[in-house]
Amino acid sequence: MMAMVMTRSEAPAGIDTTIDYLIPTSRINRRFWAPGKEFNTGIYQPYPVTIRNARLAPEPFTLDTHGFCLSHQPSGIEDFRDQAVLKRAYPAEVDAITKALTGCDLVVPMGGQLRSPVISGAGIQPPAAEAHVDFNTSSANRLAKAIYDKTAPGGPGYKRFIAFSLWRTFSDPPQDWPLALCEFASIGDDDGVPNVKVDVDEIPEGDALFAPIEGEDQMMAATIFRHNPAHRWWYFPDMTADEVIFIKFHDSDHDRAWRAPHTAFHDTGRPDAHTRESYEFRAIAYFTK
């Protein structure tokens, strides 16, 4: 008897789905972050969107035009679940990739994060499933200066920086929770608002979620977005472990694409999808010359 050959389902030209956006009346917006858990006090609502297949786009996506790009960058890491190996070996790979993609002079790592929608454990977080950028302008500027001053005390300073993530999935394609990215030119200046990150051992409950926090205005904050029908969303289906997405969180040069909202979304149209496992590594690229 001839064995049946299973073929992989094909990615469509676009997916009609929903993305969670902040509703206009949401006022106290915080992301509480505990080991293995996250909780947003912001009030979100799913809005209909079309997420287009970026592999079928008429031209490549570039950092300075779109705020993100895809790059073929095989890794020497054999097991991305081995966090000891990741911490020891991956920063050097990020350094080389970033310098090749941006032409920067210095890369300072901030650390990595494993994510999976169903696999839990120490150091593993769920996918972030709302339209966001990991910093706002104020937080990015403060963090870039603090990290540079610590890394290169007395150094020549920098003329520009990019706070970014290098995102890689290491589960087999297709993945059930791909990453969607919003094209920079489609984002309105007033679409985003701050979302303060609060690190805790346990997620608070009830009124404690909204109680005043001393020094909150100096805490790191992400940017979360209200819906705008002009937003143009893209994704790269069937990613392999040899590919990375470079995502701008903040580029201090606002004459270029300087941020890229992004989110995970559940692709229910691929019956052969595998559980997404991904690793994102944050760092800051400095331009000193």
Q: Could you read off the pLDDT tens digit of each residue along the chain, which spans 289 residues?
A: 444 444 678 999 999 999 999 999 999 999 999 988 889 999 999 999 999 999 999 999 999 999 999 999 999 999 999 999 999 999 999 999 999 999 999 999 999 999 998 866 667 888 888 999 999 999 999 999 999 999 999 999 999 999 999 999 999 999 999 999 999 999 999 999 999 999 999 999 999 999 999 999 889 999 999 999 999 999 999 999 999 999 999 999 999 999 999 999 999 999 999 999 999 999 999 999 9
Task: Note the pLDDT of residue 5.
Answer: 44
Task: Note the pLDDT of residue 118.
Answer: 81
What separation in angstroms does the CA of 158 have from each of 20, 21, 208, 259? Answer: 36, 35, 41, 19
Task: Note the pLDDT of residue 121.
Answer: 65
Q: Which residues contact 48 (CB under 8 A, 6 or more apart)?
A: 16, 17, 18
Sheet of 106-115, strands arranged across:
68-72, 243-251, 160-169, 278-287, 106-115, 124-125
Task: Note the pLDDT of residue 122.
Answer: 65
Task: Note the pLDDT of residue 9.
Answer: 85
| Cβ proximity of 39 and 220 under 8 Å | no
Task: Note the pLDDT of residue 2.
Answer: 47
What separation in angstroms does the CA of 226 have from each of 8, 19, 135, 174, 272? Answer: 36, 11, 16, 29, 33
Task: Note the pLDDT of residue 23.
Answer: 97
